[in-house]
Amino acid sequence: MSKDSLRIIEELKLRQGDTWRVLKIMSEFVQGFDELAHVGPAVTFFGSSRSKERDKYYRLAYETAFNLGKLGYAIITGGGPGIMEAANRGAYDSGTTSVGLNIEIPHEQHPNKYQTLSLKFDYFFVRKVMLLKYSLAYVIFPGGFGTFDELFEALTLIQTGKSYKFPLILFGSEYWKPLLNYMEEVMVKFGTIDESDIRFMSLVDDPHEVIQLIYERSKEKYHYLEEYYGEETNFMEKLRRILKNHEAFAHS
Q: Is 238 part of any domain?
A: no
Q: Is 84 part of any domain?
A: yes
The answer to whether 68 and 217 are in contact (CB under 8 A) is no
Share in percent of the chain as helix, strand, coil (round to 5): 60, 15, 25
Return the pLDDT at 137: 95
Q: Is 13 part of any domain?
A: no
More confident residue, 140 or 107: 140
Could you tell me the pTM of the whole model? 0.87
Q: Is 109 part of any domain?
A: yes
Q: Is 237 part of any domain?
A: no
Distance, CA of 144 to CA of 135 (rounded, Å): 21
Return the pLDDT at 110: 77
Q: pLDDT digits over 38-89, tens only?
A: 897 999 999 999 999 999 999 999 999 999 999 999 999 999 999 999 999 9
pLDDT grade for 184, boundaries at 50, 70 and 90:
very high
Inter-axis angle of helices 56-71 and 234-250, to 10 degrees?
120
The answer for residues whose C-beta is within 8 angstroms of residue 48's C-beta and 6 or more apart is: 57, 82, 83, 141, 142, 143, 144, 147
Closest by alpha carbon to 50, among 76, 75, 22, 85?
Answer: 85
Q: Is 85 part of any domain?
A: yes
The enclosing domain of 83 has a CATH number of 3.40.50.450
Angle at CA of residue 168, ends 167 and 173, nearest 5°: 125
Q: Is 5 part of any domain?
A: no
Q: pLDDT digits over 189-231, tens only?
A: 999 999 999 999 999 999 999 999 999 999 999 998 888 887 8
pLDDT grade for 33, boundaries at 50, 70 and 90:
confident
Range of 77's domain?
38-206
When the pLDDT of each residue in the chain is averaged and rounded to a whole number, the result is 89
Q: pLDDT digits over 124-153, tens only?
A: 888 888 888 889 999 999 999 999 999 999
Considering its fold, how many domains does the chain have in total? 1
Return the pLDDT at 4: 58
Q: Is 226 part of any domain?
A: no
